[in-house]
Amino acid sequence: MSLHLPTYSSIISPEEYIRINTHEHLYIANADNFIKELVAIEAEKLSTSIEVIELGCGPARILTLIGQVKNINLTGVDYDEDFIQYASRKIKEQCLPIKVISDDVTNYVHPFPVDVFYSEGFHHHVKKGIPLKSYLENIYNQLKNGGVYIIGDEYLPEYSNNLERRIKAVIWYSHIISNGLNSGFNYLAQEEVKTLLDDLNENHNEEAVKSKEQIGLIIENVNLIEDAAKTKDFQMANKLASRLLDKIDELYNTKSIGDNSIDLSRGDYKISDSIFRNEVENIGFRVELVKRFGPAYDVGGVFVYLLRK
Ligand SMILES: C[S@@+](CC[C@H](N)C(=O)[O-])C[C@H]1O[C@@H](n2cnc3c(N)ncnc32)[C@H](O)[C@@H]1O
């Protein structure tokens, strides 16, 4: 049902994944800590322990952080067996009372009604259409009335068609990649370039495989695009992003090269606030709160939403 294969651990090692996201990314760690605060607020409301589940927990990058919240029974679910094995070892080593389960969250049924679901960097991996609806309905139905789904994820500024979405994606990733390069985080920058290409191909060129030429082209162009966005010259940023997209499309490729980090897709597909609200409100969730972590200029950000049932 989920249609994306559980291949994330074949693309990046758990250690590198944790390092770049927690210690090098501009905004993710701040969003992680805000999610922890929101879980703690929900836990303080009740006198008994609450059921908390992380959807798409990966190699337990933030599971152990959330595990510091008092009075919660915490479970992490992910369908990537290798990430789950890594998570399980990490939790055992730290003697933490956290459960991890290998399952697809579009089907996962928790043995108890749930107070809090949360996810970080997960929502944009679920294929649109039936898989998205199945996962949201599945968790909505398992939440107690008044329970919450806390979602941290990357969001683009508003767009009105597919081409505009792709342009906004180029400008957002240019912001992250350019800052990564300038801070000497070359691995993070490379990983974000590949993620951008996966995002551009998703729901667009499904047969496409990334190429080294496309990666080089993006690295050459991100600083100019970020400089234009930083000075709020969005006309120029759009023009440069659009030109870059044309050149990326000219290098359309379907040949694998035997390097998983290039051949496999991370299945990313970033959307805007209004599209996201539409997705969750259609299921019945009420958006109670949103906090944005990003630059002062409008290129997107990591947003944390609190959705109430
Ligand atoms: C970008 S990682 C985020 C991991 C973690 N939440 C974090 O913040 O580090 C996305 C994770 O979602 C998992 N995932 C994607 N679709 C899934 C599904 N349908 N069921 C379970 N896990 C899924 C992937 O295996 C991957 O580990």
Q: How far is the CA of 58 from the centre of ligand 1 (A)?
A: 5
In sequence order, the 6+-apart residues with CB closer than 8 A to the CB of 112 are: 51
Angle made by CA atoms 54, 123, 213, in degrees to the nearest 5: 125
CA-proximal residue: ligand 1, atom 1 (nearest): 121
Q: What is the pLDDT of residue 112?
A: 96
Q: What are phi and psi of 74, to 5 degrees?
A: -105, 135
Secondary structure (H, E, C), the chain: CCCCCCCHHHHCCHHHHHHHHHHHCCCHHHHHHHHHHHHHHHHHCCCCCEEEEEECCCCCCCHHHHCCCCCEEEEEEECCHHHHHHHHHHHHHCCCCEEEEECCCCCCCCCCCEEEEEEECCHHHCCCCHHHHHHHHHHHHHEEEEEEEEEEEEEECCCCCHHHHHHHHHHHHHHHHHHHHHCCCHHHHHHHHHHHHHHHHCCCCCCCCCCHHHHHHHHHHHHHHHHHHHCCCHHHHHHHHHHHHHHHHHCCCCCCCCCHHHHCCCCCCCEEHHHHHHHHHHHCCEEEEEEEECCCCCCCEEEEEEEEC
Q: How far is the CA of 176 from the centre of ligand 1 (A)?
A: 20
Please name the fold of domain 8-156+269-308: Rossmann fold (3.40.50)
Q: What is the pLDDT of residue 2?
A: 54
Q: Locate the ligand 1 atom nearest the alpha carbon of residue 135 and give its number.
A: 19
Q: Locate the ligand 1 atom nearest the alpha carbon of residue 131 and give its number.
A: 19
Q: How far is the CA of 76 from the centre of ligand 1 (A)?
A: 10
Q: How many residues does the chain have?
A: 309
C-alpha torsion sign, points 155, 158, 161, 163: negative
Q: What is the pLDDT of residue 5?
A: 83
Q: How far is the CA of 57 from the centre of ligand 1 (A)?
A: 6
Q: Is 123 in the pocket of ligand 1 (CB under 6 A)?
A: no
Biggest distance spanned by C-alpha atoms of the chain = 60
Q: What is the pLDDT of residue 271?
A: 98
Q: What is the pLDDT of residue 46?
A: 87
Cα(178)–Cα(186) distance, rounded to whole angstroms? 10
Q: How far is the CA of 196 from the centre of ligand 1 (A)?
A: 17
C-alpha torsion sign, points 37, 43, 49, 51: negative
User: Which residues in the chain come in under a pLDDT of 50?
Assistant: none
CA-proximal residue: ligand 1, atom 26 (nearest): 58
Q: What is the pLDDT of residue 264?
A: 93
Q: Is 191 in the pocket of ligand 1 (CB under 6 A)?
A: no
pTM of the model: 0.97
Q: Is 78 in the pocket of ligand 1 (CB under 6 A)?
A: yes
Break the chain into its structural domains and give their ranges. Answer: 8-156+269-308, 162-263
CB-based contact 119:152 (threshold 8 Å): yes
Residue type, 123: H
In sequence order, the 6+-apart residues with CB closer than 8 A to the CB of 196 are: 169, 170, 173, 177, 218
Q: Is 154 in the pocket of ligand 1 (CB under 6 A)?
A: no
Q: How far is the CA of 125 from the centre of ligand 1 (A)?
A: 7
